[in-house]
Amino acid sequence: MSSSCDEKKKAGLCKKNEAKKINDKLVDVYRQYLELRFCEPGPGELAEYDWYSLPNELPFRFYNYSIMLGEYAQGLSNSINELNRYVVTLKTWDKVLRNIDDDFRFKLMLEMIDPIASIAINLPRIIKKRAFFSIAHLCHQVNMSKEQDWSEDKLPNDDKIEQEHADNAGKRWRKYCKTKVALEKIDNKNYSEKTKQFRNKYNHRFPPNIEEGHTGLSQRRIDEDGRWEYGIGGFIEPLPLSLIVSLLSDQYKIIISAYNSYQKLILSQVDFIEKKTQAMNLPKVKEASRN
């Protein structure tokens, strides 16, 4: 009985010692990362905040617009700047990985890199969807004051809002066309193909791995004659971190350009609200404060 307890204690002690070695090495590698991280340039300029200014007092009909714009503008800038940080983070880890032995790379990928890379690859699509969602709402709010044939029921409930609703609400604004074209370049076919449909597979199936490991070892498909077949033995190569950084850097530049177009669209609405406010003699409320 005593011998059995001693063996368990030794095994537990060995596990603790091994865990400490791994933790110490992770700390050492993270120190290397930090030495490089804050000297690494980002993929472009950061998204700005406070880029619009509504009148201090607004007619009540524009109160919802003011609240929504405050939330959406800050949320989009936050998401874009989040992508900027992730690109710098992944770019730095790519440099650190070059000096890491193969045995430790897996632990490092699991603890430090995979979660950020997975979120980052998904972010362009997320930013694009959020932009169209906000456009649908903001155009809808102003259209109810601008267009006689526009009513509350022109926009569906939030969980049903898609790009087509932004198109419908936005087409009455001259600057919407350029904004739409710019936004549609985000997460486009080229990006999807070069990431091997990572976003779609990550959310609905099984995505390619990052840096190491193959997927898709057995694939079910229809051949040219319309018959089902199984491809066994083929595989999907992992996505190199250097490729992910390059693709996300390109996407970031596209996103910043699209955000500039987005701002011009919204500023045209702000201008409309300012003129409408000056001409209206209605009960007014102070503009909603922005956090």
What's residue 270's pLDDT? 95
Q: Which two tokens stand for residue 274?
A: 């300012």
CA atoms within 13 A on the CB side of 156: 10
Helices and strands counted in the chain (H then E): 9, 4
Please give the C-alpha separations between residue 27 and each of 20, 24, 111, 112, in angstroms, as whole numbers. Answer: 10, 5, 11, 11
Q: How far apart are CA 273 and CA 278, in angstroms?
A: 9
CB of 92 closer than 8 Å to CB of 139: no
pLDDT (tens digit per residue) in 66-109: 999 999 999 999 999 999 999 999 999 999 988 887 778 888 88
Distance of alpha carbon 256 from alpha carbon 21, whole angstroms: 43
pLDDT of residue 149: 86
pLDDT in tens, 212-250: 777 666 677 788 888 887 776 667 888 999 999 999 999
**Which residues are within 8 A (CB) of 5 and not within 5 positions of it... i.e. 6 or more apart?**
none
- In the predicted structure, residue 286 carries a pLDDT above the cut 70: no
Query: Which residues have a Cβ under 8 Å from the Cβ of 125 and sit 6 or more positions away?
Result: 186, 187, 199
Q: At what angle do helices 114-146 and 176-184 cross, to 10 degrees?
A: 160
Task: Give the start-to-end residue ranges of the domains of the chain.
Answer: 40-186+248-286
Average pLDDT over residues 193-212: 82
Furthest C-alpha separation in the chain: 91
Whole-number percent of the chain with pLDDT over 70? 88
Bridge partner list, 57: 286
Read off the amino acid at residue 197: Q
Cβ–Cβ under 8 Å, residues 244 and 210: yes
Which residues neighbour 159 within 8 Å (Cβ) at sequence distance 6 or greater? none
Q: What is the mean pLDDT of residues 252-263?
A: 98
